[in-house]
Every structure is written in structure tokens, then in C-alpha cells.
Amino acid sequence: MLTKDLMEQVIAKNPGEKEFHQAVSEVLESLEPVLKKRPEYLEAKVLERIDEPERQVMFRVPWTDDKGVIHVNRGYRIEFNSAIGPYKGGLRLHPSVNLGILKFLGFEQIFKNSLTGLPMGGGKGGADFDPKGKSNAEVMRFCQSFMSELYRHIGPNTDVPAGDIGVGGREIGYFFGQYKKLTNRFESVLTGKGINWGGSLIRPQATGFGCTYFCEEMLKTKKLDFKGKTVAISGSGNVAQYAVQKVTQLGGKVVTLSDSDGTIYDPKGIDAKKWEFIMDLKNVKRGRIVDYSEKFKCDFWKGQRPWKVKCDIALPCATQNELDKNDAKMLIDNGVIAVAEGANMPSTPEAVELFIKNGVLFGPGKAANAGGVATSGLEMCQNHIGLSWSAEEVDHQLHQIMVNIHKNAADAAKKYGSPGNYVVGANIAGFVKVADAMLDQGVV
């Protein structure tokens, strides 16, 4: 293998960062056929450069809770690659956040953003802060403290963060308010903004809708669609919520959702009325998914994931490595046809291998969940031209982008000898554009 030594170097240089190793290893493996055809990438050390973030910032985030007690979290921003545009990627607030997780996310973001066809480089950031159980005032003070350092590293033409786990409209609002206060500039420095102050219609829906559109394209290759299909979804946050809505609109029946406490199983399906309940529960009351099972009298599987359920389609939409080899085996034994990743790297490498070996249509996160960042790109575009597009217009563009991503990934997979393998196709299609830009721009 051309990249074996390089992978060893990545592990030695980034000790203990297992999610980062996992993400790099998957991409490097897929690139072997390209490297054989394009040796100039090896000569110009493009792989060594692309694996190393251009800049990483780590900083102290002190804040005071409602009782006056002082807490200290650690903030990060990984500015990974700016070959095709300003750094772009979400901010994650979750106690599990560490450097390795954000580097894996930033690395994936490079290729995902390239796949969208829009001019965006790759970045990611966040903090090991847990917004769960905190008051609005505490979340606001944390966000203000975080931005008091981050503001000097970002800008509309430098780095444009967005939301991710634990960061929705409320947090983006607090970040933006503090950025504006510190810089005295109202500019397009964050996406996922409120609709009255520069946000785009359909941005909240974009990742869940986009993942469903991507899955629909995969199904079409087998002359199938969502109608009458049973669908298992994990998570119950932003991505999961809008995946449920779009799948239901397309005629599928969603029977599971989850959070870190466990999974609800509703064999009758989550209809529009039940969906409204979830939106209120998760976005207004900030409650737990177990409340759904109490309200609608269905099963709650405490501490378990959804994957033992019999379903035609699975959309993992919670977090990384939430679907392992045993889960994949259960899904395959139960006849799953398609798996599209709403979350980033939710399937372990062993699970992915099993899906591909067994002919399951498998859409990797960097392709299937690219609709979120694509619509962030559309939000930046609207901000730059000072206009606001209708929901129909944005949804139409999002749909078209997902169709194109599917086509480009499928074409690249075929061209490089792995037809139907969207992992190989997405990695190659995403990589080539960034690598060529790096060659054009010299050794920087």
C-alpha cells in the first residue's frame, strides 16, 4: 500500500487521537487508485500536508453559573484546510469533545465541503461544555466567554463556524451577539443564524432533508423509493428531527428515535402529530426521548441503540461510532436495503465493511450529510449579495446539490474501479478538487 508509512506517521504524530486515526485511515485507503494514476500528489507531499491542520487554536473558557460558581472549559478551533475557500465547519458543545474528535471532524469536513461544489475549506471547533441541564443565562455566559477568544481567529473570508451537536439557533445567536459587540461589525461570520438577522430558510432542515434526498438517490439506482419502507433513525436532535419529517413526507414509516439514555420503538410510526411533540420536547422543553414512550405508550429500550429493529432503511443521526459490527450484522440479517449516515462517522470501519460486502447501499456521512454545510454555503451567498431566498428556492438548490453529490460519488467510484462503493467515490471526488487546488497554490 502506498500510504502505509504515512498512516504510521499520522498515528505517531497524533498519539491517542483514535477517531482522527480512523478518519484518516479510511480516506487514505480509498485514495490508493488515484495515487497510482496521479503520482504528482505523492511527489508534492499533498497527503502529508492534507493530514496536518493549517492551524489549531486551544483556549480557556471561564464562565460563572447561576449560583456564582466559576467553571473552566476548554475551547478549540481546528482550521484544517483553506485550499478551496475559507475554513467552514460546525462548533460542537459536548462533554466528550477533545482534540482528536475535532480533528476527525475537521478532516472529514475538507472532503465534504469540496463535494458540495461550493467554495468552502474545512474546519471544526467546540468545547467540552455540556449544555444539558444549564439555564439559558448559563449557556449565554458560556457562549460569550467562548466567543471572547474565538472572535480574533474567524471572519467572513477567514473562517465561518456553524452549529453541530449541542449548538443550535440559541447558541449561534449568543455567539453572533458577542462577535458583533467585540468587533462592531455585522457580517457573515456564522451560519445557522436566525431568520430575521441573516439566516437562511431551510438551514435547520438541511442536514436531515439532505440525508433523505441522498438516500432517495441511492434507492433509485435499484428502482426503489421510500414509499411503504420501515425506517430506523437514531438521535433526536436537529438532524434526526428533519430526517423524520422528510422520510414521512416521502411515504416512509419511522419507527425509532434515540438519545444518550436509550431508544423509543413506535411500530405504528412517528406521524406529523407525534413529530410536533418531539419538536417541542427537544427544542423547547429540552427533555428526554423517554417522555415520548410515556406519552404515546410505546417501548423504551433503556441504554440501547435502535439497530436490532427490523427495518428496510437505517439513518444513524446521533454521533460517531454509534453503529458497530454487531449492529450492522443485525441490520443485514433483518434485510436492511440502505444505510445513509446523517451523523459524522456513526458506523465503525468494521460495520461499513460488512454493509459493502453484503451489497447494502451505504451512503457515508461526508456525502449523505453534506446538505447542512451546503445550505450554510447558500446562507453565506445570500449574505454576500444581501438577499434572502424563499424556502422553495433553497430547498430546490439543496435537492440539486444532493443529487450532484450522489452522481459525482457514484461516477468517481465507477471510474476508479469500485462501482457502487460510495465511500471510495466520495473520498476520491472530494479529495481530487482540494489536492489540485493545493498543487496550484504551491508549497504553503
Q: Which ranges in 297-421 belong to alpha helices (H)?
A: 325-333, 349-357, 365-368, 371-385, 391-415
Closest CB to ligand NDP: residue number: 237
Tell which positions 194-213 bind ligand NDP, by CB under 6 A.
Answer: 207
Sign of CA dihedral 360, 219, 318, 305: negative
Give the x-and-dash track for 11-50 against ligand NDP (CB under 6 A). Answer: ----------------------------------------
372 touches ligand NDP by CB under 6 A: yes
259 touches ligand NDP by CB under 6 A: yes
Task: Quote the DSSP letter at residue 318.
Answer: S
Cell of 302: 433503556
Distance (Å, whole) CA 20 – CA 14: 8
Q: Which residues contact 18 (CB under 8 A, 6 or more apart)?
A: 100
Cβ nearer to ligand NDP, comparing 209 with 389: 209
Q: Residue 161's beta-bridge partner residues?
A: 89
Interface with ligand NDP (CB under 6 A), residue from 53, 100, 125, 235: 235
260 touches ligand NDP by CB under 6 A: yes
Q: Which residues contact 386 (CB under 8 A, 6 or more apart)?
A: none
Distance (Å, whole) CA 292 – CA 281: 8
Interface with ligand NDP (CB under 6 A), residue from 178, 205, 369, 408: 369
Interface with ligand NDP (CB under 6 A), residue from 200, 205, 238, 245: 238
Stretch that binds ligand NDP, among 136-144, 231-239, 271-279, 408-416 (CB under 6 A): 231-239
Distance (Å, whole) CA 264 – CA 262: 7
Q: Kindly write down the DSSP assignment for every residue of 54-83, as one continuous string.
A: SEEEEEEEEEE-TTS-EEEEEEEEEEEE-S
Interface with ligand NDP (CB under 6 A), residue from 24, 35, 231, 239: 239
Cβ nearer to ligand NDP, comparing 3 with 205: 205
**Per rule CB under 6 A, count of chain residues that contact ligand NDP:** 23
CB of 165 to ligand NDP, least distance (A): 4
CB of 34 to ligand NDP, least distance (A): 25
Phi, psi of 168 (to 5 degrees): -120, -155
CB of 96 to ligand NDP, least distance (A): 6
343 touches ligand NDP by CB under 6 A: yes
Distance (Å, whole) CA 318 – CA 341: 9
98 touches ligand NDP by CB under 6 A: no
Distance (Å) of CA 214 to CA 92, 279, 365: 24, 23, 10
CB of 162 to ligand NDP, least distance (A): 7
131 touches ligand NDP by CB under 6 A: no
Q: Which amino acid is at 34?
A: V
How crowded is residue 324: how many other Cβ atoms within 10 Å of its Cβ?
Answer: 17
Among residues 103, 112, 124, 246, the one annotated as catalytic is 124
3 touches ligand NDP by CB under 6 A: no
Q: Which ranges in 297-335 belong to alpha helices (H)?
A: 325-333
Please give the sequence-ordered ranges of beta strands (E in DSSP) within 94-171, or none if there are none. Answer: 122-127, 159-162
Distance (Å, whole) CA 160 – CA 151: 11
CB of 418 to ligand NDP, least distance (A): 24
Inter-residue contact 351 to 358 (CB < 8 Å): no
CB of 208 to ligand NDP, least distance (A): 8
Cβ nearer to ligand NDP, comparing 74 with 415: 74
Q: Which amino acid is at 17?
A: E
236 touches ligand NDP by CB under 6 A: yes
Interface with ligand NDP (CB under 6 A), residue from 97, 165, 354, 409: 165
CB of 259 to ligand NDP, least distance (A): 3
124 is catalytic: yes
CB of 318 to ligand NDP, least distance (A): 3
237 touches ligand NDP by CB under 6 A: yes
Interface with ligand NDP (CB under 6 A), residue from 75, 86, 122, 342: 342
Task: Quote the DSSP letter at residue 323.
Answer: B
SS3 (DSSP) at 314: strand
166 touches ligand NDP by CB under 6 A: yes
Instruction: Using alpha carbons, select from 71, 73, 141, 172 the residue that is nearest to residue 376.
Output: 172
Interface with ligand NDP (CB under 6 A), residue from 113, 114, 245, 319: 319
Query: Catalytic positions, please?
Result: 124
In the complex, which residues of this chain contact ligand NDP (CB under 6 A)?
94, 96, 163-166, 207, 235-240, 259-260, 317-319, 342-344, 369, 372
